[in-house]
Chains A and B, each alone.
Chain A
Amino acid sequence: MSSASIVLRSALCGVLFLAGAAAGFPTSARAATLDIPTPYVPSTELNVDEMLRLADVKASDVVYDLGSGDGRIVIAAARDWGARGVGIEIDPKLVAESRERAQRAGVANRVSFREGDVLKAAVSEATVVTMYLLTPLVARLQPKLLAELKPGARIVAHDYPFADWKPDRHVRVSKNFYLYVVPAKITGKWQLAVPVGGAVREYELELSQRFQEVSGGARVAGGYLPAFEARLAGERIAFVLVDDNTSYRFEGRVSGHAMEGEVRWGAGPRQQQSTWRATRIVGVGEG
């Protein structure tokens, strides 16, 4: 098996250089979608382990493998991590093989395989998506995954990353693996309220995002406080506002047009905290 996969690997490199030469590829299988020929090159067991490890798969996860080939990622997710798995594969022979392998691995009740095109597949229930697809298809999947997956869903790409979406993590163990966490949509103006010492401080928070990268600040009477160290990981948000020579460290969760969480200020053991809430008053394209 491994020598075969080495041959396929070098053939795959060839395909990348001779873009579109996949017609001459030594396998007739097309793993993913009809209009972008995708060679079938199985990830090795090591690669599978690393992808699922990077996604930090839990028993509560639903793992979708886009272009699931012989089903090995989906089966490993169920067998080794206790998750539920779904494979999307365009080649009916591979779908049949996947089902057999799942039966043999004793995980048939926790996995399913759908014959179909990954660009048309319903994926919204996925909490983890894995893919080992060539760049053009990865690029076509990006808007679909961003639109359909829930904030917090993890995407792991093997070898071929998204072009303009920076990974939240990149690890190299024999191969390159990229982890993306689908960010909540936070762009817009928010009314932020912080109860401090009996009074409620109000700010108008203006945020914009490029994927998980956040910038913005807060308007207060007579000034503007830039948001420092702004972070977005799925629906978890954090930022720092410096007011009156004190850093207010906000952490919380985004849920639709509301955010809430805790804010801490002061240093060392003298730290104080309060809760905060924000409501979106102007959304994307409205302001």
Chain B
Amino acid sequence: MNVGLTRRQFIAGSAVLAGAAIVPVIAQSQFFDVPFVPTPQVVVDEMLRLANVTSKDLVYDLGSGDGRIVITAARKFGARATGVELDNHLIYQSEESARQANVLDRVKFLQQDFFKTDFSDATVVTLYLLPAVMKRLRERMLQLKPGTRLVAHDFDFDDWRPDVKTTIRKNVFLWIVPAHAGGRWQVRAGLPGGELVFDMELRQKYQELDGFTRFDGQPGGLWEAKLEGDRIRFVVVDGRDRDNEATLYLEGRVSGSTMEGDLVRGVGNQQARFKWRAVRTGDGPPVKK
């Protein structure tokens, strides 16, 4: 514990003196020095809890150190887990701990530079890396399957805001890899009075969405738009009939160049539910980053 505190001060120092070669600990990548600072067990538990890890998950820990996150994911959460670590000695130690915890059949440790690892089959990725490394990984993370959960502590992805942040001793962050929803779409829904058709333009920055709609060419609002993995929801107001404006609540899933889901019109006991579908009609403005 005392050692941990010393290392903690150390990491703060090395973050300030970016890339300082004085760090007498393990380099994770040939380009970025990542010191080995073990995550306290209570924070490991919180990271895996926040990511809602279950036995269906495949967890990758990038810079797995002594293997504690990988072993905890397997032992307490029943997941399969892979640790990626550059240091041979730590890999050996991890395998020994996994043997003792009786989870060798569900864990794997790869001795390599995680910038060279293919972790595209991950459903959860855990990270405890310095800001420069996080920033360099961000683009690759965005290429993972929509819905993949990323958890980190202490350091975040800069302007990619976490979907959830909790503080249990340390700040712990959760991001859910968003689907690509930005662009122009045409939305159709079969309503009792005939088919509803409107155009929609979504602007996307990570999981954040805004945009506007056109009903018969007439501009309309788009409100409360949210993206969580491939799940999308938003509210539109059909204002063509000024005396009978309708708020429509849409929820659904994005899959490539289509979306579909449920549309709710009206509130309280006036509420009615319909199906909607959208097709991408254009790319829209470039994604803001």
Q: Which residues of A contact B (CB under 8 A)?
A: 1-3, 44-46, 49-50, 52-53, 57, 76, 80-82, 171-174, 228-229, 240, 242, 245-247, 266-270
Contact = CB atoms under 8 A, between A and B. Distances in A.
Classify the interface of chain B: helix, strand, loop or mixed.
mixed
B224 A269 contact: no
A25 B104 CA distance: 77
B48 interface: yes
A173 B267 CA distance: 14
B255 interface: no
Contacts of B45: 246-247, 267
A80 B237 contact: no
A77 to B, nearest CB: 8
3 smallest CB-CB distances across A and B, nearest first, come from A80-B268, A268-B77, A81-B268
Interface string B137-168: 00000000000000000000000000000111
Given A3-B242, A80-B270, A228-B168, A171 B76 contact: no
Contact of A49 (B54, B224, B247): B247
A171 B268 contact: no
Contacts of A172: 223-224
A230 to B, nearest CB: 10
Nearest to B45: A267
A2 B237 contact: no
B77 A267 contact: yes
A245 B245 contact: no
A268 B48 contact: yes
Interface residues of B, number: 31
Interface string B13-46: 0000000000000000000000000001110011
B53 interface: yes
Contacts of A268: 48-49, 53-54, 76-78
A80 B224 contact: no
Interface of B: 40-42, 45-46, 48-49, 53-54, 72, 76-78, 166-169, 221, 223-224, 235, 237, 242-243, 245, 247, 266-270
A59 B207 CA distance: 36
A53 B166 CA distance: 28
A247 B72 contact: no
A229 B267 CA distance: 33
B242 A173 contact: no
Contacts of A45: 245
A46 B247 contact: yes
Given A1-B243, A50-B247, A173-B247, A229 B168 contact: yes
Given A245-B42, A247-B45, A174 B268 contact: no
Contact of A242 (B72, B168, B242): B168
A171 B167 CA distance: 25
Contacts of B242: 2-3
Contact of B267 (A2, A80, A228, A245): A80
Nearest to B237: A174
Nearest to A48: B267
Contact of B168 (A1, A52, A247): A247
B159 to A, nearest CB: 22
A82 B268 CA distance: 8
16 contacts: A1-B243, A49-B247, A49-B267, A76-B268, A80-B267, A81-B267, A172-B223, A228-B166, A229-B166, A240-B168, A245-B41, A267-B48, A268-B48, A269-B76, A269-B78, A270-B76
